[in-house]
Structure 1
Amino acid sequence: MQLKKIGMLAAAMMGAFCAQAQQQARLNTGWEFLRSDLGGIWEAVRPVGKGNPEASPIWEKVTLPHCVNASDAVDPDVNYYQGPAWYRTQLKIDNPYANGRTLLHFEGAGQKTEVYIYTTKVASHTGGYDEWTADITDAVAAFRQSPQFKGTVPLSIRTDNSRDLEMIPSSLSDFNVYGGIYRYLNLVYTPAVYFSEVKLQSNAKTGEVNISTFTNTAAPAGAVYKAVIRDAAGKVLQETSGAAANMVLKVTKPRLWQTTDPVLYTVETSVTANGQTYTQTNKTGFRTFEFKEKGPFFLNGKRLLLQGTHRHEDHAGVAAAMTEDVMREEMVLMKEMGVNFIRLGHYQQSRIILNLCDSLGILVWEEIPWCRGGLGGDVYKEQARGMLKNMITQHYNHPSVIIWGLGNENDWPGDFPEFDKEKIRTFMKELNDLAHQLDPSRKTAIRRCDFCKDIVDVYSPSIWAGWYRGIYTEYKQVSEDEFNKVNHFLHVEWGGDSHAGRHSENPDNALRKIKTGNGGDERAGDASLYGGAARVSKDGDWSESYICNLMDWHLKEQETMPWLTGTAQWVFKDFSTPIRPDNPVPYMNQKGLLERDNTKKEAYYVFQSYWAEKPMARIYGHSWPVRWGAEGEEKLVKVYSNCDEAELFLNGKSMGKKKRRSADFPAAGLHWTVTFSKGGNDLKVIAKKGKTVVEDKISFQYQTEKWGKPSQMTLSKIAEENGIATLEVKMLDANNITCLDAANFVRFSLAGDGRLIDNLGTSSGSRYVQLYNGRAIIRVDLRNGKNMAAVSSQGIPTATLAL
């Protein structure tokens, strides 16, 4: 299926899945926001105006989805805000159903939420990632009878992401525990009787779909239930109706859901009671899967190597408040890379993501946020149980889901004085039993908690060969050793950090310092940039060049491991984390194949060269404007491609043709040693796959001058478009030669009418950032005014530029 068609199908599905009620609308506009607490609910609703002019505190106009930490999560100079926040709006309620119910459907809000109609508290919820509903019917009716009713109903919502040891996830987790209404909020009108849950069990062997329905209240005598199933073209295949709440539909010779052809069927269920009908639409798919004991993974009876990645709900400028369009863009980029599997780390994610996985053909491991810190008390455990129940109930119908994750790094202590492995095992067993009770058809799994690995169905140890421990050439042996310790092995989380735009002529240099033969697991302190044994995560250059080599090695080895179920690289896109303030982009986990704004790094194309079907070719170094070395020195050029052969041209001259062989590292044999000209150079590749021809080209400078110690900076404007100027700082030595290995931190600042476009968590969107090859850029919104930009670095004279 072409990806354009897949994207259109995914867009169409959004409406079908979201239309769970007869009438539903997203409440996106008309909101005011306050990032602090109030003295009480009266402060949110008290009248302001004539006779009462004080408008304190001052509220900010916002749209939903909205994250409290959209900016400060990556502000290099502050800790991100963890505390209460308020949202308020006026609702015009017009429920068309006699005796119907009016609901607020939250797709996710963090982390504790309270809902008020005028001054009446109508609902509360704990947990930032599962869906929930507040019934505001009675409170609205009561407010309509009050003298304060002027045609609209005041809605106020308090969210709170304060640190709380009796909540999951732990604040020790390597991701922000965001606050706000950061997923869609819906106003829903229903009849008096509606479905609170519809459960579909689809059997690929028989073609049967068993439908279990549950209503919000007992249906009256004479209620009629109906179910209809349609194929992908909308053709009705079967329908049934009657007085039974549970129904069975059957499809003759159903087409199977596959990662390359994700066939979905539409099931419409309805209940008619007291003359009113409620209809709910769901998608389903027919498929079987199996993790062979001590063997690979099978989908629909055929071996499938799981080609996976991970995602966090996090994006530049908005943090967790991603719109549907941005989510779709991200997931389509995954599919274009060749992904067929994803682990959603480390919490239940938006229904939109699950819908996209269904329609794009991406198998899913989804988990609850029991992540690090240890095990809390009764309140803590009850939240974990509740979030597991909600995740399984709310995402049960998705054919893409194959694994329910029960935890991550539960061997990581720190939140409590007691760290009792047996108590953790006991609770893990309880969750495992609960998951199988709620859904016997899927597997359970955890990652990195060796003392619980015998409890779950599928286990992933910690293997970070070439990053936190060891060297990447040990990956295959370490994986096989771990594979032999469990019945069902699946390797999730591997890779390493790269600072976008940083490249190296000798990327594997740090490996000479690394001790080998000690496994590839991550241990306490390995993520630190200071102290401890030599490791690439601390002593390497964090270049895209090194990470491409590491990824390349892993991917070519995976093709030679017939027993492997699959892997999931960590992580698809850079994301914010409070525990990494010293990274090249502060507060960012930079292990992504994309930057936080969906800009592709070079490693994206390494994966595409192994996994993608559509012919592609990519010369390494599109973001490497200046290479360096001696005159006449031979240099390596790599082309990542899934084509059968490629021909490289340097400055118009052919450097010869090469055949692709994945065993020929690096770049599957598509590498050349060439001699660059001093100054400007042009590279071009022509690659062929069957009758299809693809091309790629880059231009760059080759610097032969050697540089000394960094001693000065220049700041210049290198582009301007639509009032946005791009500034570049360069680090030079005393002889004005660019220091191409300089990795100093620099700080941009601006005085005047404009503003820095910063706090994005990207290499070109942070005011405090480490240089990449002696340079860094940032953008400025000039706002049609006068501005003075500056850049400073410790021990180096400040540079300025009038704009």
Structure 2
Amino acid sequence: MKRVKLVFLLGLLVCSQYVFAQNKQRLTHNWEYLKGDLGGIWEAIRPVKEGNPESVPLWEKVNLPHCFNALDGVDPDVNYYQGPGWYRTLLDLKNPYTEGRSLLHFEGAGQKTQVYIYDKKVAEHVGGYDEWTADITDAVNAFKKTDVFQKQFKGKVPLSIRCDNSRDLEMIPSSLSDFNVYGGLYRYLNLVYTPKVAVDKIFAAASVDAKGSLGKLNISGRLLNPEGIDTVSLKIEVKDPEGKTLGSWENQMKAFNGDKALWETSIKSPRLWSPERPVLYTVQTTVTARGIAHVHTEKIGFRNFEFVKKGPFMLNGKRLLLRGTHRHEDHAGVAAAMTEEMIRQEMQMMKDMGVNFIRLGHYQQSRIVLDLCDSLGILVWEEIPWCRGGLGGEVYKEQGRRMLTNMIEQHYNHASVIIWGLGNENDWPGDFNEFDEQKIRTFMKELNDLSHKLDPSRKTAIRRCDFCKDIVDVYSPSIWAGWYRGIYTEYKEASKKEFERVEHFLHVEWGGDSHAGRHSESPDKALSAVQTGVGTDERDGDASLFGGSARVSKDGDWSESYIVNLIDWHLKEQENMPWLTGAAYWPFKDFSTPVRPDNPVPYMNQKGVVERDFSKKEAYYVFQSYWTKTPMVHIYGHSWPVRWGDAGEQKMVKVYSNCAEAELFLNGKSMGKKKRNSQSYPAAGLKWMVKYQPGKNEIKVVATTKDGKTISDEIVQEYQTEKWDKPAKLVLEKLSEKDNIAVIQVKLLDKNNILCLDARSYITFGLTGDGKLIDDQGTSSGSRKVQLYNGRALISVDLNKGKSVASVKSDGLPSAFVEL
């Protein structure tokens, strides 16, 4: 498959997918940050004397990646900051190449960025999610000729960067989007040295027939050659997963501008890439000019995929049910500035849950994520951030074209990518006084054509814009059975109806919110008030907790108990939908959002199966029980310390496992064995009705695999039979202390000191003294304002080796205190 030459892209300054392997370093340390703007670039570089109290403004020391909104994105008392911020550092440049180039490679920065060497602006970029490169060579060379280079800066080069995430209606994405539009250098920034001529990009189109008998590889490239050197030598080698060279091509030629087709080759019976065996080959390209070589490496995979018309998804000639989730770039304490270690942990947790597909919502994500999808075996739908708000003018549309082009070019070689997403919820107005469906259709068609021109091998898709569903290759409608509309038992019927309306159907976004640590003895109670037969699509305003018709998202208890039931039903049904391509749960991890201030954790979308700090909710194990093969067993209720009911009342204990059989023990006595049957709801038949004893109860399960191996799980739960009256008082206590970190808990009691287990009041923690609350984390146990879960809430305190007094308050109740 030949790469289409894109004449209009000549001159675009974007970096290669794998930046030049030699002489690349991450610029992580020795940075200073200033929130707000400067009067001019001189304020960033003027001499500052140590300890001068009249030096303004004051900068703080930070490491990269860094996000403006690391904490305020989930601060319950303020709108998150949207505006400019500055970073500065000194570069110690040591380019090993004679007359080589020095580049700054940005893996992503939000949302508008300007780059200065000393007082000269050398580059700027609009867009928070695509990669880009600033060539600082000429500016550095000019600065080195000045007196201040040695006298003031001691041979180092001052670098200043201005980032800006101010609200701008002509920017993508819209601030109406259900996620924060973060600011800062929140992805890695790299210093890269290259010789005069280097490889800018290699496009390696790997294809194979469905039987896997013949793999084809068409390679084209683009050079970085700003000085116009006219003759180069190129060598390309293809290596198998063990590093053995399978074929090579070498040629001396005139240096070229733009894209050039270089080599076509074939590989007999290549080892196929799949989620079970993510086999990767290597394409190594060496360009040599004037005796200096530059090596560029790409990883590729051979796989054949097909969305069958009115049918399932096929990978390498066999049906594969896409078992998916979603990812936002967001984490407790750092917001978008996730380190590589954090990203790696997150993606591994997804794989361990059984995921084989991910939609990266709603923007191009880090190269680290895509590399991990390749190596772990996770198929990808990646999309541009044209999300909500409508359609802006020509500046807006040009950004959309540029974002799509950069996303495809930068992630073109990833074996994991099968879909380029063109938009999300583009039927959602609000940013402009005009909302013209025909104009949106026209632009969507333009993006669709551009995507296919740039990359004919992948499919295009959008989610929730019915008036554009005929334009793209794959369409995902809005189906939120049991949350925003309808009940979850309507899921299969609603999906089949939508499946029949398009040629290629894929269901992304389903699920519901759960407040971690909140559990219920009657989780499905709200379903009785929900109207059925009126559809399961979400509509504008459905995220609101006020007004409108009855719906679980507004009237339910937001318990983990309800969400595991909803997920369990969906996964059970998906096993018996042979026409289904797949579905993706929304999302994997809780994330922050400006449009949900009234949620149990304010400003958090709480639909994740893990919390914002990677703490697993109970739902994680439901997915594992359906999607994984490594033996696992989990009793529901690890975060449910106290159950309640009448003495002698039968209670259901659910076990989630992928094993063939399980035996439950209550207080040492066997409750019998059950065989797993995925169609026996709930918990695939691994459910027992038992009678708890008042007080402490020990629950244990022993699961047996088909080959006779056993694994076990156990928990301890209290059983409360006392009935509580209306809430009367708060009690605050220290639960534990380790490494100078104390965990404190508030309980809500009635007048008789009985725990009010259904209490959902908002409480607010406070602290005075030497310590500091560990809050603004966006988690149920890391937020100073939070709804109670079963009459309690926790938070941690950094004692700072001193003394403090913690407080807690709630409307209508006396405040409580504890000395720490």
Task: Within 5 Å, give how 1:267-286 maps onto structure 2.
Answer: 267-286=283-302
What SS is found at the alignment partner of 2:413?
coil
- 1-side partners of 2:245 and 2:223: how far apart? 25
User: What code does the residue aligned with 2:179 have?
Assistant: F
What secondary structure, in the 3-state scheme, does the structure 1 residue paired with 2:429 have? coil
SS in 2 for 1:278: strand
Matched residue, 1:9: none
- The structure 1 residue matched to 2:217, chosen from 198, 203, 209, is 209
Shift of 1:251: 2.8
1:20 is displaced (CA, Å) by: 2.3
SS of corresponding position for 2:524: helix
2:40 is matched with which residue?
40
Q: Following superposition of structure 1 onto structure 2, how do residues 46-195 of structure 1 map, counting pairs within 5 Å?
A: 46-49=46-49, 54-150=54-150, 151-195=155-199
For the residue of structure 2 that corresponds to 1:223, the secondary structure is strand
Which residue type is aligned with residue 214 of structure 1? R
8 Å contact kept, 2:483–2:551: yes
Kindly state the Cα deviation for residue 229 of structure 1 after the two structures are TM-superposed.
1.6
The answer for the alignment partner of 1:770 in structure 2 is: 787
Alpha carbons 2:18, 2:296 under 8 Å: kept: no
C-alpha deviations, 1:76-103, integer Å up to 9, x for none? 0010000000000000111111121100
TM-score by length of 2: 0.95
CA distance in 1, matches of 2:438, 2:505: 23
Residue 263 of structure 2, aligned match among 224, 227, 247: 247
Kept after mapping to 1: 8 A contact 2:419/2:461: yes
Q: Which amino acid aligns with 2:246?
A: L
- Alpha-carbon distance between aligned partners in 1 of 2:54 and 2:220, rounded to the nearest angstrom: 55
Contact 2:17 2:411 in 1 (8 A): no
Tell me which amino acid in the other structure corresponds to 1:156. S
Give 2:583's aligned residue.
567
Deviation at 1:403, TM superposition (A): 0.2
Distance in 1, Cα, partners of 2:561 & 2:599: 18
Alignment of 1:687-702 (within 5 A): 687-689=703-705, 690-702=707-719
Residues 1:589 and 1:51: Cα distance change in structure 2 (over 3 Å) = closer
1:562-613 Cα distance to aligned partner (Å, 9 max, x none): 0000000000000000000000000000000000001100000000000011
3-state SS of the aligned residue for 1:605? helix
Q: Conserved in 1, the CA contact under 8 Å of 2:18 and 2:298?
A: no
Pairing 1:798–2:815 present: yes
Gaps of 5+ in 2: 1-15, 254-259
- When residues 439 and 19 of structure 1 are mapped into structure 2, their CA distance, relative to the original with a 3 A threshold, is closer
Q: Give deviations 1:179-230, integer Å, cap 9, x for gaps.
A: 0000000000000111121100112243232211110227644411011122
Matched to 2:452, the amino acid is H
Deviations 1:351-397 (A, max 9, x none): 00000000000000000000000000000000000000000000000
Q: How many residues align?
A: 788
Amino acid of the residue matched to residue 757 of structure 2? Answer: L
Cα distance in 2, alignment partners of residues 185 and 217 from structure 1 = 22
Contact 2:322 2:356 in 1 (8 A): yes
Q: Deviations 1:491-538 (Å, cap 9, x if unpaired)? A: 000000000000000000000110000110001111100000000000
Kept in 2, the 8 Å contact 1:743–1:772? The answer is yes
Structure 1 distance, partners of 2:711, 2:116, is: 58
CA deviation string 1:408-462 (max 9, x = no partner): 0000000000000000000000000000000000000000000000000000000
Match of 1:198 among 157, 182, 202: 202
User: Which residue is equivalent to 1:450?
Assistant: 466
Residue 412 of structure 1 corresponds to: 428
* Structure 1 residues 47-79: Cα deviation after superposition (integer angstroms, max 9, x where no partner): 012897632100000000000000000000010
Q: Name the counterpart of 2:9.
A: none
Shift of the 51–259 alpha-carbon distance from structure 1 to 2, 3 Å rule, reads: closer
Residue in structure 1 matched with residue 686 of structure 2 by the alignment: 670
Q: Which amino acid aligns with 2:43?
A: E
Q: In the alignment, residue 228 of structure 1 is paired with which amino acid?
A: E
Amino acid at match of 1:675: K
Q: Match for 1:77: what amino acid?
A: D
Aligned partners of 1:715 and 1:759: how far apart in 2? 20
Match in the other structure for 1:710: 727
Distance 2:176 2:222 in 1: 39
Q: 1:92 to 1:752 in 2, by over 3 A?
A: same
3-state SS of 1:627 partner: strand
Match of 1:4 in 2: none
Local SS of the residue matching 1:487: coil
In the alignment, the residues of structure 2 paired with residue 201 and residue 165 of structure 1 have an alpha-carbon distance, to the nearest angstrom, of 37
- The amino acid that maps onto 2:72 is D
8 Å CA contact 2:105, 2:133 repeated in 1: yes
Aligned to 1:713, the other structure's residue is in SS state strand
Which SS does the other structure have where 1:329 is aligned? helix
Provide, for residues 742-794 of structure 1, a one-character-per-residue CA deviation record: whole Å limited to 9, x for no partner: 00000000000000000000000000000000000000000110100000000
Q: Alpha carbons of 1:50 and 1:347: their partners in 2 closer, same or farther (altered >3 Å)?
A: closer
TM-score calculated relative to the size of structure 1: 0.97
Letter of the 1:772 counterpart: Y
- 1:308 matched to which residue of 2? 324
Contact kept, 8 Å, 2:238 with 2:245, in 1: the verdict is yes
1:392 alignment partner, one of 408, 421, 439: 408
Instruction: Trace 1:240-639 onto structure 2 (pairs within 5 A).
Output: 240-243=249-252, 246-639=262-655
Q: Please state whether the residue corresponding to 1:393 is helix, strand or coil.
A: helix
C-alpha distance in 2 between matches for 1:793 and 1:614: 45
* Whole-Å separation in 1 of the counterparts to 2:298 and 2:61: 35
Q: Quick check: 1:639–1:667 contact (8 Å CA) kept in 2?
A: yes
Q: Secondary structure at the match of 2:629?
A: coil
Provide the rounded CA distance (Å) in 2 between the counterparts of 1:724 and 1:51. 33
Per-residue deviation at 1:252? Answer: 3.0
Cα deviation, residue 243, structure 1: 2.1
Distance 1:474 1:65 in 2: 44
